[in-house]
Structure 1
Amino acid sequence: MSVHENEKSEERRIISRFKNSQGDVTDLIDLPVNCTVEQLTLICNAILQQEENVPYLFFVDDQEIKSTLGDVINADKFNTENVLDIVYQQQAIFRVRAVSRCTSSLPGHAEAVISVNFSPNGRYLASGSGDTTVRFWDINTQTPEFVCKSHTNWVLCIAWSPDSKKLASACKDGKICVWDPTSGKIAGPVLSGHRQWVTGLAWEPYHSNTKCIHLASSSKDGSVRIWDVVRGLTVFSLTAHNKSVTCIKWGGAGLIYTGSQDRTIKVWRAADGVLCRTLEGHAHWVNTLALSTDYVLRTGPFNPGVEYNTNSVESEEIALKRYKDACPDGQERLVSGSDDFTLFLWHPEKQKTPIARLTGHQQLVNDVKFSPDASIIASASFDKSIKLWHGSTGKFIGSLRGHVQAVYVIAWSADSRLLVSGSADSTLKVWNVRNKKIELDLPGHADEVFAVDWSPTGLQVASGGKDKVLKLWAH
């Protein structure tokens, strides 16, 4: 490029405006093409009259501006009548550091560890195993705390209530138990009714009921049950699926979503158990579901680093505000992953037709998760890869490759910058999502890794698998 042309491109300016995810726009502003991210941040803060300098990410047509405005647009195609929308998104207030070492290996389980979960407030850690027990672990001392025995068969799934005061566990015999994490004792009656094993558990969101007394379960027997855990009763039994129900989500708008081996996803009204609609499109079993609001529904009134009194009216308002903030267009999105190698992105509250069909995996999709800020979907597959997709459009972003066997499970860091994956190759890997590279390789397990969770506080990752050992990882 000649000096003359270089000067000309630096002089070129574009009429622009800043726009947020809700669609609110600022006044028009005249920007040079070589405007940097730092300059955009200063200008955006000034226009929005922020008291402190807030860090933002900027996008044009879903493409992130990483250095200058000119990198993502063809300036030649713009004339003075065009207006360029620059979408701004606030960066996470706190940053999670990549876990880099195993701080402790916790033996105790006598069979494979099938599930591990941190509580929403980040204070407790629980695991479920093929040895029929649920175990609670002391995060501070990294030692075993309680061994809970009531199940008579493999514990297949566990789920924390959004107030962190109860943990539900379900087993291969179809029984569901609710535990008190402070004592390790069973809290209420055993929930019996399913004729075959329970495949998934989902609590009613905190902003819908702060008492956390309703739990939904899906089962291989083809039914979905909504329970009152205090009275130990089935409130509704939902039976429209004609094959095993594989996964369940309780959304923030009063809807329950279930995926099944009958290839459909059903949308139920939680208040009365009415079937609202059936989402069709998958050619094989639906294995996994994720909601764009999963992170805020999981953590309810708890925000990392902020203490709340969860008995107050204020905490319900906090949980509701966090939910509404996570639904900028007024509704949550659902993504489904299947044995047919594809994913579908849905607006399940209103539409039966998918927003997008996500193709590219070469084998079945085993796990799918929205990032906490809902901007990215990550999917894990038996094809040894993890794929990243745009959270609103489903557009393909890139592949994360490095595992040498099937990827079973993935978990996001609370700031949406990092992803951890567990694989049949016995390793965990931490990925930097922005540059799509491995940040850290974490060997240490002696066999396949079945379960991974990243604490909502961002400080620790827990993993478990076929080697019967629970491992904690930190920076």
Structure 2
Amino acid sequence: MATLLPPKGKKQKREEQNPTPFEIPEKFPLVNVQFQASDGSHELPSLLVPGNSSARQLDILLNQLLGSPEDPVPYTFALKHDDDTVEIPDNLYTTVFHSGLMKTEDNLTLLYTPQAVFRVRAITRCAASMNGHDGTIISAQFSPSSSSRLVTGSGDCTARLWDCDTQTPISTLKGHHNWVSCISWAPDASVIATGSMDNTIRLWEPKKGASLGDALRRHTKPIMALCWQPLHLSPDSGPYLLASGSKDNTIRVWNTKLRTLVYTLSGHTAPITCVKWGGQNWIYSSSYDKTIRIWDAKDGKCLHILKGHAARVNHLSLSTEHVLRSGAYDHTDFKPKNFREERDKAKERYDICVKQSGERLVSASDDLQLMLWDPYKTTKPVAKMHGHQKVVNYASFSPDGRHIATASFDSSVRLWDAKTGKFLATLRGHVASVYQCAWSTDSRLLVSSSQDTTLKVWDIRTKKLKFDLPGHLDQVFAVDWSPDGQRVASGGADKAVRIWTH
């Protein structure tokens, strides 16, 4: 029978466990534990372990049992209890026995889930404050391939392309005649699209910010959302299809190579708020009309209408969104030799992500609730998630598909289980409306932006505030964490773009 490693020293023990108001017994009865993979793919025989084992010790033991002690994989653990799961953040004693959840004579089933093998360091300081915009910054997005390129959109009718390495502007993207309301990088980082309140979409090359022709003009009202076709669905000529949602109640799909309109998706009866292009070639759109529509991107046919919200739907997020956005690029600093290799890598990453968590959808609404959907199985919500006291403005799946973070005007961020919709924790610290949040690539950290002029970094394991980041002089509307994990960018009403690093 496998055995646990010797107990850690006091100093190391303090680092691994949160301080508790009671002493964890040094000696505790052995308990019967069975490890199961959370996706049901693998199950290990039962064995006896000390009832005060820490999550770190369980991690070491599991790697020994799975035959990978030399190249260990980090795992998280959850107790399977009455058709529910309870996360074990620190140790078995605190979560299971001291709380009275189970007794030492009970058989414990522990579900294990692999974490990212790399670790993103928490951002702790402002590395640069970059000025240049003359209006409020309402959108910011890093390139999918590198944290050295950033685009921001502003109320001064321009977008700006920044070099984050030298902390200088590369180009001012001029051409719009009203607020730049949304921006989107192509998943291979070859094109930048900007949408504006002037009803047009413009395309730019990302090296020097040169304009790629005239504006795309068919919408009759402001552009509210942009989304590119996923990289792994693209033909050999590269990603060129772009979906745009507008206040004219339509979604339009464009061929950006030929600069032509492919088709218009009509059906919504009120302005569009968000558009997402899924990895199975479905397009998801949300609207003021309280519905979410699912379209077949092949022919533009409306496949499903998801109903349930009692007020306008503000935002959508897909569980595969991180890999769809970053395409072929990950922590390995992958450099493709050609587009086909890049597309194959993107397909491989997407398939792994779908195998782990499927492709689910979450919607955030003015009705103070969220809904979790599994569109490939049912048009009914998997879960209705209540708890926020005011409008839910933003929702985002973690890159590993295990958690959902939501931002609300009730000054809080909430965490939910992405499979069941179960409430996990309220992250309190902001003193005014929270506008957006962004995950680190390893899913261990979360950053949120607020009307209270601060950013806050949260530790997902402890569910607590890790760092408070003041610096902005006014409310912060936009925040993004670079796909390589190196930087966070933020912008808001003080017109300054701030870059944060560790």
TM tier, smaller: over 0.9
Secondary structure at the aligned position of 1:327 is classed as helix
Amino acid at match of 1:47: L
Cα distance per residue 1:414-457 (max 9 Å; x no partner): 11111111111111111122222221211111111111111111
Cα distance per residue 1:129-152 (max 9 Å; x no partner): 111111101111011111111111
User: Could you tell me how far apart the structure 2 residues matched to 1:7 and 1:464 are?
Assistant: 49
Amino acid at match of 1:63: V
- Does 351-360 or 30-39 show the bigger shift? 30-39
Runs of 4+ residues over 6 Å off in structure 1:
none
Which residue of structure 2 lines up, in the alignment, with residue 87 of structure 1? 111
Which residue of structure 1 lines up, in the alignment, with residue 21 of structure 2? none
1:339-350 matches, within 5 Å, as 339-350=366-377
Which residue of structure 1 lines up, in the alignment, with residue 462 of structure 2? 435
TM-score by length of 1: 0.93
Cα 1:103–1:70 change in 2 (3 A) is: closer
Which residue of structure 1 lines up, in the alignment, with residue 355 of structure 2? 328
Secondary structure at the aligned position of 1:105 is classed as strand
Secondary structure at the aligned position of 2:233 is classed as coil
Secondary structure at the aligned position of 2:286 is classed as strand
Residue number among 19, 31, 34 corresponding to 2:37 in the alignment: 19
Cα 1:135–1:319 change in 2 (3 A) is: same
Which residue of structure 2 lines up, in the alignment, with residue 41 of structure 1? 59
Which residue of structure 2 lines up, in the alignment, with residue 113 of structure 1? 137
User: Could you tell me how far apart the structure 1 residues matched to 2:285 and 2:209 are?
Assistant: 30
The Cα shift of 1:59 comes to: 1.5
Cα 1:445–1:193 change in 2 (3 A) is: same
Instruction: Give the alignment's Cα RMSD to 1 decimal.
Output: 1.9
Which residue of structure 2 lines up, in the alignment, with residue 170 of structure 1? 195
User: Could you tell me how far apart the structure 2 residues matched to 1:207 and 1:113 are?
Assistant: 31
User: Could you tell me how far apart the structure 2 residues matched to 1:213 and 1:330 are?
Assistant: 28
User: Could you tell me how far apart the structure 2 residues matched to 1:409 and 1:184 are?
Assistant: 26
User: Could you tell me how far apart the structure 2 residues matched to 1:98 and 1:7 are?
Assistant: 32
1:441-452 matches, within 5 Å, as 441-452=468-479
Are residue 64 (structure 1) and residue 87 (structure 2) matched? yes
Cα 1:330–1:392 change in 2 (3 A) is: closer
User: Could you tell me how far apart the structure 2 residues matched to 1:358 and 1:310 are?
Assistant: 45
Residue number among 352, 364, 367 corresponding to 2:391 in the alignment: 364
Secondary structure at the aligned position of 1:326 is classed as helix
Cα 1:434–1:9 change in 2 (3 A) is: closer
User: Could you tell me how far apart the structure 1 residues matched to 2:485 and 2:26 are?
Assistant: 46
The Cα shift of 1:32 comes to: 2.5
Q: Is the 8 A contact 2:323 2:346 kept in 1?
A: yes
Residue number among 169, 172, 183 corresponding to 1:147 in the alignment: 172
Residue number among 46, 61, 72 corresponding to 1:53 in the alignment: 72
Amino acid at match of 1:66: P
Are residue 253 (structure 1) and residue 280 (structure 2) matched? yes
Are residue 205 (structure 1) and residue 205 (structure 2) matched? no
Cα distance per residue 1:362-415 (max 9 Å; x no partner): 110111111111111110011111111111111001111111111111111111
User: Could you tell me how far apart the structure 2 residues matched to 1:76 and 1:461 are?
Assistant: 45
Which residue of structure 1 lines up, in the alignment, with residue 47 of structure 2? 30
1:366-405 matches, within 5 Å, as 366-405=393-432
Cα 1:227–1:78 change in 2 (3 A) is: farther
The Cα shift of 1:189 comes to: 4.2
The Cα shift of 1:343 comes to: 0.3
Residue number among 188, 195, 205 corresponding to 2:220 in the alignment: 195
Are residue 461 (structure 1) and residue 488 (structure 2) matched? yes
Q: Is the 8 A contact 2:319 2:357 kept in 1?
A: no
Q: Percent identity?
A: 44
User: Could you tell me how far apart the structure 2 residues matched to 1:465 and 1:36 are?
Assistant: 42
Q: Is the 8 A contact 2:357 2:402 kept in 1?
A: no
User: Could you tell me how far apart the structure 2 residues matched to 1:78 and 1:192 are?
Assistant: 70
User: Could you tell me how far apart the structure 2 residues matched to 1:310 and 1:469 are?
Assistant: 37
Q: Is the 8 A contact 2:478 2:491 kept in 1?
A: yes
User: Could you tell me how far apart the structure 1 residues matched to 2:442 and 2:300 are?
Assistant: 35
Q: Is the 8 A contact 1:100 1:440 kept in 2?
A: yes
Amino acid at match of 2:79: V
The Cα shift of 1:173 comes to: 1.4
Are residue 10 (structure 1) and residue 29 (structure 2) matched? yes
Which residue of structure 2 lines up, in the alignment, with residue 242 of structure 1? 269
1:410-421 matches, within 5 Å, as 410-421=437-448
Q: Is the 8 A contact 2:405 2:415 kept in 1?
A: yes
User: Could you tell me how far apart the structure 2 residues matched to 1:43 and 1:438 are?
Assistant: 30
User: Could you tell me how far apart the structure 1 residues matched to 2:28 and 2:473 are?
Assistant: 57
Q: Is the 8 A contact 2:223 2:246 kept in 1?
A: yes
1:96-107 matches, within 5 Å, as 96-107=120-131
Residue number among 269, 274, 282 corresponding to 2:296 in the alignment: 269
User: Could you tell me how far apart the structure 1 residues matched to 2:166 and 2:144 are?
Assistant: 19
Secondary structure at the aligned position of 1:226 is classed as strand
Are residue 160 (structure 1) and residue 185 (structure 2) matched? yes
The Cα shift of 1:8 comes to: 10
Cα distance per residue 1:184-221 (max 9 Å; x no partner): 11124421111000110000111111611001010000
Which residue of structure 2 lines up, in the alignment, with residue 280 of structure 1? 307
Secondary structure at the aligned position of 1:297 is classed as helix
Which residue of structure 2 lines up, in the alignment, with residue 3 of structure 1? none
Amino acid at match of 1:461: V
Amino acid at match of 1:453: D
Q: Is the 8 A contact 1:188 1:229 kept in 2?
A: no
- Does 109-118 or 31-40 show the bigger shift? 31-40
Cα 1:407–1:310 change in 2 (3 A) is: farther
User: Could you tell me how far apart the structure 2 residues matched to 1:99 and 1:18 are?
Assistant: 34
Q: Is the 8 A contact 2:29 2:104 kept in 1?
A: no
Amino acid at match of 1:468: K
Q: Is the 8 A contact 2:33 2:109 kept in 1?
A: no
User: Could you tell me how far apart the structure 1 residues matched to 2:413 and 2:223 are?
Assistant: 27
Cα 1:148–1:329 change in 2 (3 A) is: closer
User: Could you tell me how far apart the structure 1 residues matched to 2:28 and 2:124 are?
Assistant: 44
The Cα shift of 1:39 comes to: 3.8
Are residue 409 (structure 1) and residue 436 (structure 2) matched? yes
Gap runs ≥5 in structure 1: 1-5
Cα 1:433–1:110 change in 2 (3 A) is: same
